[in-house]
Amino acid sequence: MNSPITSSMSSLLFLFLFSFSLASSASAHTHENFLQCLSHYPNTTSNISQLIYTQANSSYASVLNFSIRNGRFSSPTTPKPLVIITPLQLSHIQAAINCSRKHGMQVRIRSGGHDYEGRSYVSQVPFVVIDLINLRSITVDVDERTAWIESGATIGELYYRIAEKSRTLGFPAGVCPTVGIGGHFSGGGYGTMLRKYGLAADNVIDAHIVDVNGRFLDRQSMGEDLFWAIRGGGGASFGVVLAWKVKLVPVPSTVTVFSVNRTLKQNVTQLVHRWQYVADKVDEDLFLRILLQSLNASGEGKRTIQATFDTLFLGGVDRLIPLMEKSFPELGLTKEDCIEMSWIESTLYFNRFSSGESLDVLLDRTPGFIPFKGKSDYVKEPIPEKGLEGLWEKLHEETAGRAQLLFIPYGGKMAEISESEIPFPHRAGNIYKIHHVVFWEEGDEAAQRHISWIRKLYDYIAPYVSKNPRAAYMNYRDLDIGTNRNGVTSYTESSIWGIKYFKNNFNRLVHVKTMVDPTNFFRHEQSIPPLSSRV
């Protein structure tokens, strides 16, 4: 005879299984209704069903994985989208938005898949991915010095198409050629010409977006508030940005690059310390960054710190050498360290492609697939030598693995643009930005060790970086600094991380969000909230 407790437990188990069965059935029903909605959506001039991939489709895994750029989010336990849509035209995106709203499906928008926390293709609730990989046309107008770029294009494709038309025009976007234009521009987007021309987003002059109601809008019809918000405030909070019009910038026919390595035996601590007083104040034609890593000292059986001074100079070597001798003689740069080339060739150089490599490599959308965790900081006062020495000790730790620090110089044009010009606020007063990153190739257990290490590094460097708020760069997304938790997207919760990315611009972003997406349809763990939102 069953005891009352046993009977009660059996009843609870039955109720749980029955409820789960109902929920699963309802979810499957919603899923089917969503697919039916897509396939019967009016005004689609081509068959959208051929662009829809469900988990039952044989091509689903390859389509999903093709644009996953962080191996940390490719494990079997990572939540997968119920559906991936790869639109070819405007009506396909309108169908995806309207059907998702109608059937309660959450949407993720992916252009290149480089989101540091995988937010363009991962969610903890049932979701759909709108993958813009087919929307990648680029139209360059040399006479007007402008270009229209669809969001699914990559930085490499943009550079290649500019070079097809002109060797004396360029664009101040990032170094990595596989980064998608959609995320890069909407988060700010910086590269080796930021001190001369600012960010990619600073040079956007028009855009096309599909809003929560499925309306197609350009700059004039969306209004200046929304146009302001998508240039550095994260486009995925406001709609699906289809394309961007940018102003191209002049580049000289000859630029100069160099990569000079220095180690502890070559006074690297003193050199890095001195660099902090120079990098943001030199000629705006000069971009001089530092890559720091711990390496085995050649033939000594112990570790050393190597600093690689990586440089793009918008001019010839004969002008660069006197400039370096005046501003940073401690580096000991010689003419033999330098290489003259075209600007487009410099985009290959910064990706460590071999000399003479074809520009066609810029069209390759398949980068490395290694797990990593990244963070960012801004430095307003030089870190003392003692602080740098402590940093070296952290880099030497075994759990650091393949860790790197990038010191990216500011000043120049970056110091001239107002903090409120676009949502990206990190302008005057910043000497440089730090990009902390650690890579690994082992499994989940190793991942936790390396992530724990980078968090401790982040804690260590806290006294030396910006405060109130401790600023961060949105395109180096870091969920450690705060998230919209438990399905709630509130102003209070979101301001914890929002102020770090956007400072006072966060309030205006919330205002824009409230106007254009009051029901918070476009949302994720770090999306801008509308006021009084609870979903």
What is the Cα gyration radius of the chain? Answer: 25
Alpha helices in 119-248 (DSSP H): 155-165, 181-186, 194-197, 219-222, 224-230
List every span in the chain annotated with CATH 3.30.465.10: 138-250
Q: What is the DSSP string of 308-324?
A: EEEEEESS-HHHHHHHH
* Secondary structure class of 153 (helix, strand, coil): coil
- Please report, to the nearest 10 degrees, the dihedral formed by the alpha carbons of residues 73, 75, 76, 79 taken in order: -10
CA geometry: angle 177, 455, 506, nearest 5 deg: 65
pLDDT band for position 298 (cuts 50, 70, 90): confident
Average pLDDT over residues 354-369: 88
Q: Which of 116, 190, 464, 476 is catalytic?
A: 476
pLDDT band for position 1 (cuts 50, 70, 90): very low
Average pLDDT over residues 320-339: 98
Average pLDDT over residues 183-210: 99
The structure tokens 């724990």 sit at 452
pLDDT band for position 4 (cuts 50, 70, 90): very low
- Please report, to the nearest 10 degrees, the dihedral formed by the alpha carbons of residues 486, 487, 493, 499 taken in order: 120
pLDDT at 24 over 80: no
pLDDT at 11: 52
pLDDT band for position 168 (cuts 50, 70, 90): very high
* Secondary structure class of 106 (helix, strand, coil): strand
pLDDT band for position 488 (cuts 50, 70, 90): low
pLDDT at 15: 45
Q: What confidence tens digit (pLDDT) does each residue in 236-256 have?
A: 999 999 999 999 999 999 999
Average pLDDT, the chain: 92
List every span in the chain annotated with CATH 3.30.43.10: 26-134
pLDDT at 375: 99
Q: Give the number of residues written for the chain.
A: 535
Tokens representing 42 are 């009016």
Given this structure, which CATH class describes domain 26-134? alpha beta
CATH 2.40.10.350 given to domain 138-250: no
DSSP code of 134? G
Q: Is 476 a catalytic residue?
A: yes
Out of 3-17, 398-412, 437-451, the most confident range is: 398-412
Q: Which of 31-40, 263-272, 448-457 has the lowest mean pLDDT?
A: 31-40
* Secondary structure class of 449 (helix, strand, coil): helix
DSSP code of 73? G
Quick one: which of 77, 265, 67, 251 has its CA closest to 165? Answer: 251
What amino acid occupies position 444?
D
- Note the pTM of the prediction, 2 decimals: 0.93
List every span in the chain annotated with CATH 3.40.462.20: 255-341+370-464
pLDDT at 31: 80
pLDDT at 293: 97
pLDDT at 334 over 50: yes
* Secondary structure class of 334 (helix, strand, coil): coil
Quick one: which of 152, 148, 158 has its CA closest to 129? Answer: 152
The secondary element (H helix, E strand) that includes residue 81 is none
pLDDT at 242: 99
β-partners of residue 240 are 210
pLDDT at 330 over 50: yes
Quick one: which of 447, 476, 482 has its CA closest to 74? Answer: 447
pLDDT at 443: 76
Orientation of helix 385-396 relative to helix 268-275, angle to 10°: 120
pLDDT at 29 over 70: no
Q: Which of 19-28, 143-152, 275-284 has the lowest mean pLDDT?
A: 19-28
Region 255-341+370-464: CATH code: 3.40.462.20
pLDDT at 44: 66
